[in-house]
């Protein structure tokens, strides 16, 4: 009896191997993710559980933010409609598993690009949509104005599963300060605990501090200290192994940034088609075959600019006008003193 | 080898189905992980973890390995489970007996407690005890001293630390007392069975537990001093206590909510157990002249325990598993430290989740084996 069992299992295994190989080789020709997305009719996008300015849902369930706009741009390019996005709110802990397991196709959730994340866990970072750094928030009444005033025994609230935990250790260790890390799974609980007085300081990316400050009982009672203790380039992430999809997401983001560079906005995009500048014409689909390599039509980038806007519009709408970080700092174009610099679309 | 297909057919089909299902999932995971360039392996356990943990029973910081971080989480899970089980049992037994009290007020109060706490989801209760109670606690600088030496603040409970001299002698004196109590109990039982003489075992036991450790202080050279927590200023409005032992509020809130919740179920087990003993048993015991206490101790409880233990084991298992809700309020248990931070830093989802699942399984099986052993011990022994 067991003799047959063995043969049966090997037969099943062989069939499974053959089946996998045939589907894999077909997928290699065209992007599997792109095909699935077009079939489903929406882009599956992983976002945060609520970070104003980056990805935040209003009472009606409409998502806004610069991270959200990356997914909307991809939807506009691939499906022709920036609203065809299904957002999945994820905790810091869940985000990578959701992406590698195929539950979402883009992770656009203020995620720091690091070597180990890029190399180890089956992910690929496609670019940077926000240059950030970790900072500390304290109560104004504490009289602390610089991290040099931190003393032994300070308690610091933060999120688990982020680079923050590691930076925090490096920071306190290198200064020889003993500290109590209080790490929560969700950002809302971190804010609540810090606000209640559980911790002396709250540490995360500075953009996050600025955004979460708006959620506190009395935002004016808290200040963000000037020191930045780490580099946090935040950007969208895709699964490894689908080069076409990776390129689509990368160039959707690049298009938004380059559009700002050339002064193309959602309002004037159509009129730019008749521009004299060939670079502008390429960005609005009036010259060259810029979509063919992705398996898209020629106006994919025009749709992004028309429906979502350029990077500057997105920043203004989500981060500056909401009072989170009115000053663009490093997130300004390279031509205007910032470090936003993307390869040319040509 | 004279099997009939009719007999082994269904079994064989089941085995094949199980093997195929497991094989499919393993194979599928392997293929997918290979496609996405994810390595499988437990080698990461010896790597440096490079993250710190708030509260640990063993020495740990980020320079230790991931395995050490796992141990920290495991011990914290065991700690909160043990505290929870201990408190829940005491409270559960008290409330269970109170529910049978002829006193209207006690009876109704116990019933209200049970209905109230067992019908609110545990996660909500944890949030309540953590956030509501946390906000109500004073800041360290405003805290009133309890007995002049302990401080309950929003940053935790600060109690004096015991500083022992010759602690081993004190420890041996307690061991000696326990051994002596076991011997005396055994002798007392023998005496009662042979010549019917009653010995006040309880009094003697309590006496021994006090006198032997006391002797260790008087003649054994054992010294005990206290390190009392002192307020320290970190910044204008930011204070902390230094010295002594600090229990984080996360641990207190979690242990409190777990035991308050589970005690309601244990109380019902206890009530069911006591009510499950036939009325005739009590009447018969009373009719042969046993006192109220003797009836409870010798007739009712031994029979009630047999009904109480199996469902209570279930509650212990539930409490241990529910302790994983700790992640919600930053108590660094196994799920938060290992299946949370460590998983994130390494990306080894399958490995870490499998270890975590196996650990909870082992914990549950240990509890259940112990309770089964206890249950067998008190089961009716047919003569």
User: Can you give the pLDDT at residue B383?
Assistant: 56
Interchain contact, A239 vs B36, CB within 8 Å: yes
Return residues 15-54 of A near B (CB < 8 Å): 16, 20, 24
Quick check: A194 pLDDT over 50? yes
Taking CA A115 as the corner, what is the angle to CA A112 and CA A121, rounded to the nearest 5 degrees? Answer: 85
Please tell me which of the candidates B50, B53, B235 has its beta carbon nearest to residue A143: B235
Least confident range from A78-82, A155-159, B344-348: namely: B344-348
Directed axis angle between helix B167-195 and helix B201-218, to 10°?
Answer: 160
Asked whether residue A138 falls in the same domain as residue A224, the answer is: yes
Quick check: A18 pLDDT over 60? no
Reported as a pLDDT band with limits 50, 70 and 90, residue A24 is very low
User: Can you give the pLDDT at residue A13?
Assistant: 58
Asked whether residue A190 falls in the same domain as residue A273, the answer is: no
Interchain contact, B347 vs A161, CB within 8 Å: no
Across chain B, mean pLDDT equals 87
Distance from the Cα of B4 to chain A's closest Cα (Å) equals 12
Asked whether residue A38 falls in the same domain as residue A125, the answer is: yes
CB atoms inside a 10 Å sphere around CB B257: 25
Q: In whole angstroms, give the CA distance from residue B22 to residue B29.
A: 11
DSSP class per residue in A250-265: HHHHHHHHHHHHTT--
Interchain contact, A161 vs B341, CB within 8 Å: yes
What beta strand segments (E) does B237-285 contain? 238-242, 245-247
Asked whether residue A177 falls in the same domain as residue A325, the answer is: no
Q: Is the CB of B76 inside 8 Å of chain A's CB atoms? A: no
Section A38-42 average pLDDT: 93
Distance from the Cα of A66 to chain B's closest Cα (Å) equals 24
Please tell me which of the candidates B31, B50, B341 has its beta carbon nearest to residue A20: B31
Examine residue A258 and state whether it is found in any structural domain, yes or no: yes
Examine residue A342 and state whether it is found in any structural domain, yes or no: no
Interchain contact, B237 vs A169, CB within 8 Å: no
CB under 8 Å to B73, separation ≥6 — which residues? B53, B332, B333, B334, B335, B336, B337, B338
Q: Is the CB of A139 inside 8 Å of chain B's CB atoms? A: yes
User: Can you give the pLDDT at residue B37?
Assistant: 67
Domains of chain B: which residue ranges? 46-135+247-378, 170-218
Q: Is B360 helix (H, G, I), strand (E, B) or coil?
A: helix
Asked whether residue A88 falls in the same domain as residue A139, the answer is: no
Pairing of strands A43-47, A106-107: parallel
Q: In whole angstroms, give the CA distance from residue B329 to residue B323.
A: 11
Residues from chain B contacting residue A181 (CB–CB below 8 Å): 51-54
Across chain A, mean pLDDT equals 88
Interchain contact, B340 vs A239, CB within 8 Å: no
User: Can you give the pLDDT at residue B382?
Assistant: 62
Interchain contact, A169 vs B51, CB within 8 Å: yes
Please tell me which of the candidates B16, B31, B52 has its beta carbon nearest to residue A181: B52
User: Can you give the pLDDT at residue A121?
Assistant: 67
Asked whether residue A6 falls in the same domain as residue A90, the answer is: no
Interchain contact, A153 vs B234, CB within 8 Å: yes
Nearest residue on chain B to A158, alpha-carbon basis: B330
Interchain contact, A200 vs B235, CB within 8 Å: yes
Asked if A297 and A311 count as a contact pair (C-beta separation under 8 A), the reply is no
User: Can you give the pLDDT at residue B229?
Assistant: 82
- Structural domains in chain A (count): 3
Interchain contact, A240 vs B31, CB within 8 Å: no
Asked whether residue A157 falls in the same domain as residue A243, the answer is: no
Examine residue A341 and state whether it is found in any structural domain, yes or no: no
Q: pLDDT tens, A104-140?
A: 999 999 999 988 888 876 889 999 999 999 999 999 9
Reported as a pLDDT band with limits 50, 70 and 90, residue A70 is very high
Bridge-partner residues for B225, per DSSP?
A: B163
What sign does the dihedral B107-B108-B114-B117 (CA atoms) show?
Answer: negative
Quick check: A21 pLDDT over 50? no
Quick check: A22 pLDDT over 80? no
CB atoms inside a 10 Å sphere around CB A164: 26
User: Can you give the pLDDT at residue A241?
Assistant: 85
Q: Is B182 helix (H, G, I), strand (E, B) or coil?
A: helix
Quick check: A9 pLDDT over 80? no
| Tally of residues, chain A | 346
Q: Which two tokens stand for residue B379?
A: 């089961």
Residues from chain A contacting residue B20 (CB–CB below 8 Å): 9, 12
User: Can you give the pLDDT at residue A267?
Assistant: 93
Interchain contact, B131 vs A96, CB within 8 Å: no
Interchain contact, A184 vs B330, CB within 8 Å: yes
Asked if A233 and A131 count as a contact pair (C-beta separation under 8 A), the reply is yes
Q: Is the CB of B9 inside 8 Å of chain A's CB atoms? A: no
Among candidates A186, A166, A151, which has minimal Cα distance to B327?
A: A186
Residues from chain B contacting residue A144 (CB–CB below 8 Å): 235-236, 238
User: Can you give the pLDDT at residue A4?
Assistant: 61
Interface A–B counts its CB contacts (< 8 A) at 148
Asked whether residue A126 falls in the same domain as residue A41, the answer is: yes
- Is ipTM strictly over 0.90? no
Asked whether residue A264 falls in the same domain as residue A123, the answer is: yes
Interchain contact, A161 vs B328, CB within 8 Å: no
Residues from chain B contacting residue A121 (CB–CB below 8 Å): 38, 347
Asked if A107 and A96 count as a contact pair (C-beta separation under 8 A), the reply is yes
- Of A230, A259, A287, the last residue of a domain is A230
Asked whether residue A115 falls in the same domain as residue A242, the answer is: yes
Asked if B163 and B225 count as a contact pair (C-beta separation under 8 A), the reply is yes
Asked whether residue A238 falls in the same domain as residue A127, the answer is: yes
CATH number of the domain bearing residue A52: 3.40.190.10
Asked whether residue A253 falls in the same domain as residue A284, the answer is: yes
CB under 8 Å to A132, separation ≥6 — which residues? A110, A112, A205, A206, A207, A208, A232, A233, A234
- Regions of chain B short of the pLDDT cut 50: none
3-state secondary structure B127-141: HHHHHHHHHHCCCHH
Q: Is A242 helix (H, G, I), strand (E, B) or coil?
A: coil
User: Can you give the pLDDT at residue A103?
Assistant: 93
CB under 8 Å to A323, separation ≥6 — which residues? A214
Among candidates A111, A90, A180, which has minimal Cα distance to B56?
A: A180
> The domain containing residue A304 runs over which residues?
32-131+234-336
Please tell me which of the candidates B27, B238, B240 has its beta carbon nearest to residue A16: B27
Architecture of domain B46-135+247-378: Orthogonal Bundle (1.10)
Q: pLDDT tens, A225-272?
A: 999 999 999 999 999 888 999 999 999 999 999 999 999 999 999 999
Return residues 72-101 of A near B (CB < 8 Å): 92-93, 96-97, 100
Please tell me which of the candidates A122, A173, A181 has its beta carbon nearest to residue B36: A122
Examine residue A204 and state whether it is found in any structural domain, yes or no: yes
Interchain contact, B341 vs A160, CB within 8 Å: yes
Interchain contact, B31 vs A93, CB within 8 Å: no
Q: Give the predicted TM-score (pTM) of the model.
A: 0.79
Examine residue A306 and state whether it is found in any structural domain, yes or no: yes
User: Can you give the pLDDT at residue A28?
Assistant: 40
Of the residues A184, A222, A225, the best mutation for testing chain B's interface (the one with the most B CB atoms within 10 Å of its CB) is: A184
Q: pLDDT tens, A197-211?
A: 889 999 998 988 988
Q: Is the CB of B20 inside 8 Å of chain A's CB atoms? A: yes
Residues from chain A contacting residue B235 (CB–CB below 8 Å): 138, 142-144, 149, 151, 200
User: Can you give the pLDDT at residue B54?
Assistant: 87
């Amino acid at each position: 009896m067991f003799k047959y069992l063995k043969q049966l299992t090997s037969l099943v295994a062989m069939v499974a191997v053959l089946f996998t190989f045939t589907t894999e080789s077909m997928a290699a020709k065209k992007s599997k993710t792109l095909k699935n997305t077009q079939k489903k009719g929406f882009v599956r996008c992983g976002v945060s559980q609520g970070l104003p300015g980056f990805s935040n849902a209003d009472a009606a369930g409409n998502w806004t933010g610069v991270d959200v706009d990356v997914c909307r741009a991809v939807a506009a390019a691939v499906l022709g409609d920036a609203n065809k996005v299904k957002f999945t709110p994820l905790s810091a802990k869940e985000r990578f598993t959701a992406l590698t397991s195929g539950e979402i196709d883009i992770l656009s959730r203020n995620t720091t690009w690091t070597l180990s994340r890029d190399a180890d866990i089956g992910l690929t970072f496609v670019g940077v949509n926000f240059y950030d750094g970790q900072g500390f928030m304290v109560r104004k009444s504490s009289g602390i104005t610089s991290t040099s005033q931190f003393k032994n025994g300070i308690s610091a609230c933060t999120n688990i599963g982020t680079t923050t935990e590691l930076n925090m250790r490096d920071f306190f260790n290198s200064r020889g300060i003993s500290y109590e890390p209080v790490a929560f799974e969700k950002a809302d609980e971190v804010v609540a605990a810090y606000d209640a007085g559980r911790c002396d300081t709250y540490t995360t990316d500075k953009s996050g501090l600025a955004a979460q400050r708006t959620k506190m009982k009395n935002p004016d009672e808290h200040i963000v200290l000037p020191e930045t203790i780490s580099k946090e380039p935040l950007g969208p992430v895709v699964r490894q192994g689908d080069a076409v999809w990776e390129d689509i997401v990368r160039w959707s983001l690049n298009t938004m940034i380059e559009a700002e560079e050339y002064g193309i906005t959602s309002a004037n995009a159509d009129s730019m088609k008749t521009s004299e500048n060939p670079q502008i014409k390429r960005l609005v689909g009036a010259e060259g075959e810029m979509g063919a390599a992705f398996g898209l039509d020629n106006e994919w980038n025009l749709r992004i600019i028309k429906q979502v806007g350029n990077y500057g519009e997105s920043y203004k709408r989500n981060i500056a006008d909401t009072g989170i970080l009115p000053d663009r700092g490093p997130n300004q174009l390279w031509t205007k003193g910032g470090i936003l610099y993307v390869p040319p679309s040509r | 080898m004279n099997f009939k297909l009719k007999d082994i057919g269904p079994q064989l089909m089941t085995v094949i189905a199980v093997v195929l299902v497991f094989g499919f999932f393993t194979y599928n995971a392997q293929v997918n992980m290979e496609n996405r360039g994810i390595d499988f392996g437990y080698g990461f356990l010896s790597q440096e973890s490079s993250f710190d943990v708030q509260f640990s029973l063993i020495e740990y910081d980020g320079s230790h390995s991931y395995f050490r971080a796992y141990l920290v989480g495991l011990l914290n899970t065991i700690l909160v489970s043990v505290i929870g089980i201990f408190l829940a049992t005491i409270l559960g037994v008290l409330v269970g007996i109170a529910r049978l009290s002829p006193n209207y007020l006690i009876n109704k109060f116990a019933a209200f407690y049970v209905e109230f706490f067992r019908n609110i989801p545990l996660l909500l209760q944890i949030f309540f005890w953590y956030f509501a109670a946390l906000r109500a606690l004073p800041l360290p600088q405003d805290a009133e001293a309890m007995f002049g030496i302990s401080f309950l603040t929003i940053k935790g409970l600060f109690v004096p630390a015991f500083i022992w001299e010759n602690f081993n002698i004190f420890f041996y004196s307690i061991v000696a007392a326990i051994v002596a109590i076991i011997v005396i109990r055994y002798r007392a039982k023998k005496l009662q069975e042979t010549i019917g003489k009653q010995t006040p075992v309880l009094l003697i036991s309590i006496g021994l537990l006090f006198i032997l450790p006391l002797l260790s202080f008087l003649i054994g050279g054992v010294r005990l001093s206290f390190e009392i927590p002192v307020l320290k200023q970190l910044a204008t409005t930011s204070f902390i206590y230094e010295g002594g032992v600090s229990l984080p509020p996360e641990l207190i809130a979690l242990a409190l909510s777990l035991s308050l919740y589970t005690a309601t179920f244990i109380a019902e087990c206890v009530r069911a157990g006591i009510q499950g003993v036939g009325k005739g048993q009590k009447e018969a015991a009373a009719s042969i002249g046993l006192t109220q206490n003797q009836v409870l101790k010798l007739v009712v409880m031994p029979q009630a325990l047999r009904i109480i233990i199996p469902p209570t084991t279930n509650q212990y298992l539930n409490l241990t598993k529910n302790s994983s809700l700790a992640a919600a309020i930053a108590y660094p248990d196994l799920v938060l430290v290992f299946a949370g931070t460590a998983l994130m830093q390494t990306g080894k989802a399958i490995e870490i989740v499998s270890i975590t699942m196996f650990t909870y399984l082992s914990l549950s099986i240990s509890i259940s084996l112990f309770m089964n052993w206890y249950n067998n011990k008190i089961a009716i022994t047919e003569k």
